[in-house]
């Protein structure tokens, strides 16, 4: 039997502390595909939708591609953008139905101007067309903030297990295989959700250093072996959102025909206790001064040093225009170095107008909020490249998907090549640097705006990696933020 399955993506991680908002243009800047554009762009890629396409072909589904909308992490979503994307999805569901099942790739930390749980807001809208009988399978980012309402809107939920997120395709495959079993009547999945009284936890979900998250996933695997347990997902949460459910959570997908709800809930409770036991295990970035001292003492012959500006990570909704790290590199006289990607469309336009080879004096960065992470920085340098900023992710994240930084330039200032872009982009792929002619393997120091994802692409070429806090919006210093919606009491704010 061929099942008719709707395939949808609506993804944004929303930082509620930024001055910025996410509009429809931000989705178009990342990707916003409809109908047959989706398989043309996603087939064979390392993405959740790529995994769904794979299962659809293997199982003989009749897939109906609705909308695939993704915006880089930013501020809360403007109502007109939310409405436009939601209405496009609902129109596609009405025209393309009826359906035997629906797959939705979500982030899990989306906030809109009208709902602090934008993901459930969207699923409510989907249910308004589908009704309650059609099974819905979703995928979530490891940094989802999960609200209890989710359990009444989806039957299957599978979260990433890696940070950097290199298992997106596999997660899509698993969710869709469970959806297939559900449509075939082989299982009756439901969700159980539990969360510890924590804002911080799971070492932010890092899985590269064999830390707490790895131990927690081992426990989850053991619990998932119980009869009727289909998936046990651990979400580290997203601390840059002031919402009721911010922080770690456990989501258990179970077969209600085999396992009682109490069994799934017990698994969630035990994992929450384990998460709590690791609450003091948290890898913190080093101060900027310590980072620069380490760079000055490093021997270039030992290999590439990658420095990550944790606090100005666009992947958590930070501004990506902070200049403190770049200024410190220049002041220290660091040579054979590259930094990226600094967001400054105005500077890009000025530098591009001067042309390749020109000497320019220009003010870069610090435009969004000069009080955060270094204000505008005036530099003199040589224009090395002007580009449309387009590239294809080589992996291991988003492998095969197209990407763009908008119009971009490379400005060489002293021994530092600075990549300046018109669209925010976390530096998680070597091809991003290459979009402006910077070959990352040819540098001694690479300064990237990222917290953890950079390790997937740059870890294999790095002799050493240093994560620093340069005072940007996403600094881990929680005393700089005021949480008004967060449930209380919660660790570490009240403990």
pLDDT digits (tens, 9 = 90+) for 318-339: 999 999 999 999 999 999 999 9
| pLDDT tens profile 8-51 | 999 999 999 999 999 999 999 999 999 999 999 999 999 999 99
pTM higher than 0.85: yes
**DSSP single-letter state for residue 479:** G
User: Does the residue 486 lie in any domain?
Assistant: no
User: Does the residue 163 lie in any domain?
Assistant: yes
User: Does the residue 491 lie in any domain?
Assistant: no
Residue 301 and residue 256 share a domain:
no
Residue 188 and residue 221 share a domain:
yes
User: Does the residue 333 lie in any domain?
Assistant: yes
pLDDT exceeds 90 at position 283: no
- What mean pLDDT is reported for the chain? 96
Residue 258 and residue 318 share a domain:
no
User: Does the residue 495 lie in any domain?
Assistant: no
Residue 169 and residue 24 share a domain:
yes
Residue 311 and residue 224 share a domain:
no
pLDDT at 455: 95
User: Does the residue 487 lie in any domain?
Assistant: no
| Residue that is last in its domain, among 236, 259, 277 | 277
Residue 290 and residue 256 share a domain:
no
What's the domain range around 291?
A: 286-475
Question: 482 falls in which pLDDT band (50, 70, 90)?
Answer: very high
Q: Which two tokens stand for residue 348?
A: 């890009």
pLDDT at 477: 83
Question: 241 falls in which pLDDT band (50, 70, 90)?
Answer: very high
| Residue that is last in its domain, among 226, 247, 277 | 277
User: Does the residue 309 lie in any domain?
Assistant: yes
Residue 193 and residue 87 share a domain:
yes
The number of domains in the chain is 2
Question: 64 falls in which pLDDT band (50, 70, 90)?
Answer: very high
| Residue that is last in its domain, among 277, 311, 344 | 277
* Residue 125 host element (H or E): helix 118-130
pLDDT at 311: 93
Q: Exposure pattern of 298-326 as b/e (b: 16+ CB <10 Å)?
A: beeeeebbbbbbbbbbbbbbbbbbbbbbb
Residue 70 and residue 142 share a domain:
yes
How far is 424 from 365, CA to CA, in rounded Å?
A: 12
User: Average pLDDT, stretch 209-233?
Assistant: 97
Q: Which two tokens stand for residue 188?
A: 């009756």
pLDDT at 200: 94
Q: Which two tokens stand for residue 226?
A: 């119980």
Residue 348 and residue 318 share a domain:
yes
pLDDT at 475: 87
Query: Residue 158 in 3-state DSSP?
Result: strand
Residue 64 and residue 195 share a domain:
yes
User: Does the residue 492 lie in any domain?
Assistant: no
Q: How far is CA 389 from CA 22, 68, 392, 402, 434, in A?
A: 21, 22, 10, 11, 9
Share of the chain above pLDDT 70, in %: 100
Residue 369 and residue 271 share a domain:
no
| pLDDT tens profile 180-216 | 999 999 999 999 999 999 999 999 999 998 899 999 9
pLDDT exceeds 80 at position 75: yes
Residue 313 and residue 444 share a domain:
yes
pLDDT at 400: 94
pLDDT at 478: 85
pLDDT at 160: 98
């Amino acid at each position: 039997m061929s099942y008719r399955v709707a395939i949808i993506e609506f993804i944004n991680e929303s930082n509620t502390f930024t001055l910025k908002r996410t509009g429809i243009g931000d989705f178009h800047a990342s990707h916003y595909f409809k109908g047959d554009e989706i398989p043309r762009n996603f087939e064979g890629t390392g993405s959740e939708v790529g995994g769904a396409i794979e299962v659809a072909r293997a199982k003989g589904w009749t897939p109906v591609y609705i909308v695939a909308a993704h915006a880089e992490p930013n501020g809360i979503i403007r109502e007109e953008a939310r409405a436009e994307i939601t209405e496009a999805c609902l129109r596609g569901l009405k025209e393309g139905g009826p359906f035997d099942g629906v797959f939705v790739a979500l982030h899990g930390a989306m906030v809109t101007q009208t709902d602090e749980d934008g993901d459930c807001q969207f699923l409510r809208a989907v249910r308004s067309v589908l009704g309650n009988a059609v099974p819905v399978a979703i995928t979530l980012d490891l940094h989802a903030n999960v609200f209890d309402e989710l359990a009444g809107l989806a039957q299957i939920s599978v979260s990433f297990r890696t940070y950097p997120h290199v298992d997106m395709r596999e997660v899509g495959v698993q969710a869709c295989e469970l959806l297939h079993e559900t449509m075939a009547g082989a299982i009756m999945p439901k969700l159980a959700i539990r969360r510890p009284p924590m804002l911080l936890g799971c070492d932010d979900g890092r899985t590269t250093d064999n830390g707490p998250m790895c131990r927690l996933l081992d426990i989850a695997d053991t619990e998932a072996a119980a009869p009727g347990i289909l998936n046990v997902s651990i979400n580290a949460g997203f601390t840059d959102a002031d919402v009721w459910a911010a922080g770690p959570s456990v989501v258990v997908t179970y077969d209600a025909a085999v396992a009682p709800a109490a069994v799934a809930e017990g698994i969630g409770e035990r994992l929450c206790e384990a998460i709590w036991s690791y609450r003091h295990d948290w890898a913190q970035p080093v101060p900027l001064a310590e980072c620069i001292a380490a760079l000055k003492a490093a021997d270039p012959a030992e290999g590439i040093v990658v420095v990550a500006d944790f606090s100005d990570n666009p992947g958590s909704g930070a501004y990506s225009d902070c200049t403190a790290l770049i200024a410190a590199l220049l002041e220290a006289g660091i040579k054979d170095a590259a930094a990226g990607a600094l967001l400054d469309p105005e500077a890009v336009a000025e530098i591009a107008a001067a042309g390749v080879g020109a000497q320019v004096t220009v003010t870069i960065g610090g435009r969004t909020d000069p009080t955060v992470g270094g204000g505008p920085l005036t530099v003199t340098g040589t224009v090395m490249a002007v580009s449309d900023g387009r590239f294809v992710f080589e992996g291991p994240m988003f492998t095969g998907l197209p990407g763009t930084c908008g119009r971009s330039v490379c400005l060489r200032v002293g021994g530092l090549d600075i990549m300046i872009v018109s669209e925010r982009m976390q530096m998680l792929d070597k091809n991003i640097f290459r979009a402006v002619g910077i070959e990352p393997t040819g540098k001694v120091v690479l300064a990237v705006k990222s917290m953890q994802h950079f390790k997937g692409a740059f870890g294999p070429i790095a002799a050493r990696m240093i994560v620093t806090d340069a005072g940007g919006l996403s600094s881990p210093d929680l005393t700089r933020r005021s949480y008004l919606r967060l449930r209380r009491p919660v660790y570490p704010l009240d403990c």
